[in-house]
């Protein structure tokens, strides 16, 4: 672990490639939160588009349970979201931290983004969670410390975020089919069988996205 730690600190990628964030996870698991924050900040400067570094920084600040760090949780949850972290976890944590500050307009903005029909989660996250969060935020607007100008994700950021997620999804599907396309088959029947297998997986995945879109609300951004 010491070798990995030094590699992160000096910006080298040889030890774990883009997965250096795994060492940050290790530090967080061991409750070495200050060290995780220190190294995470260094790593984020060298890898500004790596959403997993941001999600680990978010977790390190969150688990420190210091009220002054709530703004840092918001900062890194937002950056994780903007850089393609679409499991729903970053969005959930972002809403929870904004709620602590009574920034209800900001919560509505985040919920509108993930509820939008263009936004896809990578897992079986029920978008209904964010509809409920939005409704709770609306009911609390009289006590909000912010206003409608408290924008967490603007239109350009939203479009860029969705395009990034779509591009990664396309790459994922291409990687699934790559072994079939590269393999030399003696029997064409076997190739077709393998191809159908992976195409069925992709089809089910796309059907799930369509199902989740049925729970979406296309009411927010105009593009």
**How do residues 26-61 score in pLDDT, each as one tens digit?**
899 999 999 999 999 999 999 999 999 999 999 999
> Chain-wide mean pLDDT for the chain?
86
Nearest residue to 13 via CA among 220, 21, 181 = 21
Q: Is residue 26 part of a domain?
A: no
Question: What pLDDT score was predicted for residue 218?
Answer: 54
How many angstroms separate the CA atoms of 187 and 172, rounded? 26
Question: What pLDDT score was predicted for residue 68?
Answer: 82
Q: Is residue 11 part of a domain?
A: no
Q: Is residue 209 part of a domain?
A: yes
How many angstroms separate the CA atoms of 212 and 190, rounded? 34
* Poorest-pLDDT segment among 104-108, 162-166, 193-197: 193-197
Instruction: Work out the pLDDT band at 4, boundaries 50, 70, 90.
Output: low
Nearest residue to 128 via CA among 220, 219, 216 = 216
Q: In this structure, what DSSP letter does residue 35 have?
A: H
List the domain range (segments joined by +) for residue 112: 66-213
State the total domains in the chain. Answer: 1
Checking if the pLDDT of 67 tops 70, the result is yes
């Amino acid at each position: 672990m010491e070798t990995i730690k030094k590699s992160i600190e000096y910006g080298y990628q040889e030890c774990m490639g883009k997965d250096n964030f795994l060492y940050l996870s290790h530090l967080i698991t061991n409750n070495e939160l200050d060290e995780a924050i220190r190294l995470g900040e260094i790593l984020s400067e060298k890898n500004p588009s790596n959403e997993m570094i941001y999600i680990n920084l978010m977790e390190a600040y969150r688990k420190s349970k210091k009220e002054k760090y709530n703004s840092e949780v918001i900062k890194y949850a937002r950056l994780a979201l903007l850089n393609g972290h679409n499991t729903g976890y970053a969005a959930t944590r972002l809403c929870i931290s904004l709620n602590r500050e009574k920034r209800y307009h900001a919560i509505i903005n985040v919920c509108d983004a993930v509820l939008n029909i263009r936004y896809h989660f990578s897992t079986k996250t029920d978008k209904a969670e964010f509809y409920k969060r939005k409704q709770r935020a609306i009911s609390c607007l009289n006590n909000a410390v912010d206003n409608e100008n408290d924008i967490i994700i603007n239109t350009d950021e939203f479009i860029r975020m969705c395009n990034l997620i779509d591009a990664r999804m396309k790459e994922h599907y291409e990687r699934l089919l790559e072994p079939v396309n590269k393999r030399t088959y003696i029997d064409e029947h076997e190739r077709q069988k393998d191809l159908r297998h992976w195409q069925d997986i992709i089809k089910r995945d796309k059907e799930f996205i369509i199902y989740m879109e049925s729970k979406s609300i296309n009411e927010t951004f105009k593009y």
